[in-house]
Structure 1
Amino acid sequence: MIDFRSDTVTTPTAKMRTAMAEAPVGDDVYGDDPTVNQLQDLAADLLGFEAALFTPSGTQGNLIAIMAHCQRGDEYIVGQNAHTYKFEGGGAAIVGSIQPQPIMEGENGILPLHDIESVIKPFDPHFAQTRLLSLENTHSGRILPQDYIASATALARKHDLSCHLDGARIYNAAVKQSLNVKEITQHFDSVSVCLSKGLAAPVGSVIAGTTEFINTARRWRKVVGGGMRQAGILAAAGIIALTEQVDRLADDHENARYLADELSKLDAFSVDITQVQTNMVFAHLHQGSTKELAAYLKQHDILISQSNPIRFVTHKDVDNQSVDKLIKHIKSYLLSA
C-alpha cells in the first residue's frame, strides 16, 4: 500500500528495528534509561539547548511545553490553524487551563506582527495574562522565513513573552533552506520536534529548552501520563532518526515537487506550485469527488486523504515510482468520472 495521507505513516528502518531490539534500557521515570538519556543529550546538543525531554507524542510535547511556560489563567498567542490550537484537542485549555488567543495566519503561515501586538493583554485583572507566543515551522509544509522569526520573537520579548516553536517538521525547514537547525531554534525558548514523521522513528517527540524549563516539563509529563518505563526501546529509533534520517528529507521535497508538477498537468486539478516548499502538496480536485477518488485509488493500493484540497504528503516510503503509479491511476479515474 502506497500511503500519501501523511508522513506519520512512515515505517522504521531495518537499522532502527535492530537498535530497538538491542537497546540498553532502564526505568526512565527514575531517569535510569541510558538510551533515553542518550537521545535527550543528543537532541539538546543538536537543537542548541541545555536539556531535552523525550515524550510519547508531539501533541503531548507541545502541551507540556505550554504548561511549563504558563500558569492557569494565562494565555498563549497562536495561529488559527496551528496544530497546537486546532489539532491537539484543546489540551492547553482543557488540561492546563491556559487560554489560547488565536490569530489568522498570513502568507506562509506567519502571524502578522501587528496582529500579535494587538492581542497582547495589558496587566489588568479583567484579562488573562499573555505569557507565550507559539509559532509553527513548517506550517502546512510551508517555511517560516528566518527574518520573520527574528522579528516575531523580538516583538514577543519586547513584551516579556516567552517563545515556543512547534517544530514537528523543523528539519524539513532546515534541510530545504540548507541551514543548521540551530539557526532556526536560536530564536526560541523551547522547541518540540517530532521523530515519527519524516524522520521515520515509530514513536515519539522531543522538546528542548533550558534545564529549568525541562525540569518543569518533566513534572507535567508525569501528570499527563507521559512517564514511560523502559522507553529506551523507543528512544533507540529516535537516535537513528536524528543522526541518519535528516539529510534524506531532501528526497521527500524533490518528490513533492515532482508530484505537484505532474498534478498541475491535469485539467481536473489546480495546484499552487509556489506553496510546495517541503513535503506537502495541496491540490484542488474539480472533477468527480475526493471521496470517490480515494475509494478508487484504494482499490489500486494507494491511500490519499478525502479533503478538498487533497493534502498529499511525501516521505521515505514514497518514491518517484510511487508518484508515477498515483498519477497513472488518477488519470484512469478521471476518464471514468
Structure 2
Amino acid sequence: MKPIDFRSDTVTKPTAAMRRAMAEADVGDDIYGEDPTVRRLEERIAEVLGLPAALYVPSGTQANQIAMGLHCRQGDEVIAEANSHIFHYESGALSGLWGVQPAPLPGSHGLVSAEQVTAAVRTDFVGPRSRLLSLENTHNRSGGRVWPLALFRSVVEAGRKAGLAVHLDGARLFNAAVATGMPASAWASLTDSTAVCFSKGLGAPVGSAILGSREFIEEARRLRKRLGGAMRQVGILAAGALYALEHNVERLAEDHVHARRLAAGLAELPGVTVVPGQVETNMVVAEFPLPVREMLGKLASHGVLAGSTGTGPHTVRLVTHLDVSSADIDEGLTRIRRALAG
C-alpha cells in the first residue's frame, strides 16, 4: 500500500520537467558570482517580490537567520508572535548564533495587532534593545493562516514608528498570494527583508531566498559564507527553484481546494473536530480522539502519514501539496475512517 503523505509540503519530489531543467542548467562558480542560473533566479524573485535584490541560500532557516544576524546585535530583542517558526523550529539559532533574545507576543491564529507591537517595544535602558519585528505569512503553527494585508500594513507601520526593522518569514508567501488573489509583493515590498522558500509548496528540492536592499544583500552574502551556505556550481539546484517559480505558483490553488475537501471530509468523521471554514491555504489542523503520538502511529499503519503542530495533545496537521491528488484526498479519508474504527 502506497502511503499518502500529508506530513508536509516539503516531501514533494521534483517533476520530470523540473529534473530536465536542473540537468540542463547552465552553471558556474557562484562564490565568484559566475553562476548564470543563480543570477537569473535572484533577479527574477526580486522582481516578483518588489525588493531590490535577492540571495539564494540552502534553506528557509538560513534565510531567516541571515536576516536576524544582519538586523540585530548581541543583546537585542526580536518581537514576533509566540508560535513563530523562528522561535520553535530553528534550533535556538537566535541565541546560539547571534545572542539575540526573543520577545514572544500572544497571537490570535498567528496574528498580532499594532497595539501589541507598540506596547512590546522597550523604552528603558536596563532591558534588551527592541530591534526587529518578525512576521510570518502564512503562519505555520496556526495552520497556514494568511495575514490580511490591511492588518499586516498596520502592524508594519507600528513597528517602523517604534524604530524597528521589519522582517517577513514568507516561507509560504506564495500560498498567501494565491489564496487572496494579491501579488506576493503586496506584503514583501512593505518590509526591510523577506525570506521565501522554494522547497515547500512550490515543489523544488532545495533552496530559499533572502531579499532586501542591495546593501543588505551584500552583507547577507558575507553571513551566508560564515554559515557555510555559499556553494559553487549551484545552478543545478537553482534551476529547480527557477522552474518552480515560473510553473508552480498558480497551481497552489489546487492544494487549497484539496485541503478544504479534506477538512470537510474529516468534519464528518466521528471523534474528529475541525473547522473547514478556517482552512485558508494548504494546511488542515484537526483534533483527533487519541493522543498525537498514538494517533499518528495508527494513521501510519493504515497508510496515512501526518504530523503535529505541537500546539495541543490531540492536534494533528495534514498538509496538501503537488504530490497529493484529488483521488488521494478521497482515499486518504477512507483510510482515516478505517484507522478511527480500528
Q: TM-score, normalised by structure 1?
A: 0.95
Please give the per-residue CA displacement for 1:27-60, whole angstroms capped at 9, x wherever unaligned: 1112111111111111111111110000100000
1:266 aligns with 2:276: no
Q: 2:226 aligns with which of 210, 223, 227?
A: 223
Superposition deviation, residue 160 in structure 1? 1.5
Which runs of 5 or more structure 1 residues have no equivalent in the other structure?
none
- The answer for the alignment partner of 1:91 in structure 2 is 93
**SS of equivalent to 1:92:** helix
**SS of equivalent to 1:109:** coil
| Aligned AA (1:36) | V
Superposition deviation, residue 295 in structure 1? 3.1
| Aligned AA (1:105) | G
- The answer for the alignment partner of 2:137 in structure 1 is 137
- RMSD, aligned α-carbons: 1.4
- The answer for the alignment partner of 1:205 in structure 2 is 208
Q: Distance in 1 between matches of 2:129 and 2:95?
A: 14
Superposition deviation, residue 290 in structure 1? 4.2
Please give the per-residue CA displacement for 1:99-154, whole angstroms capped at 9, x wherever unaligned: 21111112x31123222112211262x22221110000001301111111110011
- The answer for the alignment partner of 1:65 in structure 2 is 67
**SS of equivalent to 1:53:** strand
Q: Distance in 2 between matches of 1:289 and 1:81?
A: 21
1:173-252 to 2 correspondences below 5 Å: 173-252=176-255
Fraction of identical pairs, as percent: 46
| Aligned AA (1:318) | V
1:311 aligns with 2:312: no
Aligned length: 333
- Residues 293 and 330 in structure 1, CA contact (< 8 A), matched pair in contact too: no
Q: Distance in 1 between matches of 2:287 and 2:4?
A: 20
- The answer for the alignment partner of 2:33 in structure 1 is 31
Superposition deviation, residue 300 in structure 1? 4.0
Q: TM-score, normalised by structure 2?
A: 0.94
1:20-59 to 2 correspondences below 5 Å: 20-59=22-61
- The answer for the alignment partner of 1:111 in structure 2 is 112
Superposition deviation, residue 282 in structure 1? 0.5
- Residues 73 and 97 in structure 1, CA contact (< 8 A), matched pair in contact too: yes
- Residues 159 and 166 in structure 2, CA contact (< 8 A), matched pair in contact too: yes
**SS of equivalent to 1:143:** coil
Q: 2:326 aligns with which of 313, 320, 324?
A: 320
The alpha-carbon distance between structure 1 residues 157 and 325, as it changes in their structure 2 partners (threshold 3 A), is: same
Please give the per-residue CA displacement for 1:219-243, whole angstroms capped at 9, x wherever unaligned: 1111111111111110000101111
Please give the per-residue CA displacement for 1:304-337, whole angstroms capped at 9, x wherever unaligned: 226621100000001121111111112222222x
Q: 1:80 aligns with which of 79, 82, 85?
A: 82
Please give the per-residue CA displacement for 1:9-33, whole angstroms capped at 9, x wherever unaligned: 0111111111111111111112111
**SS of equivalent to 2:131:** strand
Superposition deviation, residue 285 in structure 1? 0.8
Q: 2:283 aligns with which of 280, 283, 304?
A: 280
**SS of equivalent to 2:307:** coil
- Residues 25 and 35 in structure 1, CA contact (< 8 A), matched pair in contact too: yes
Q: Distance in 1 between matches of 2:266 and 2:239?
A: 38
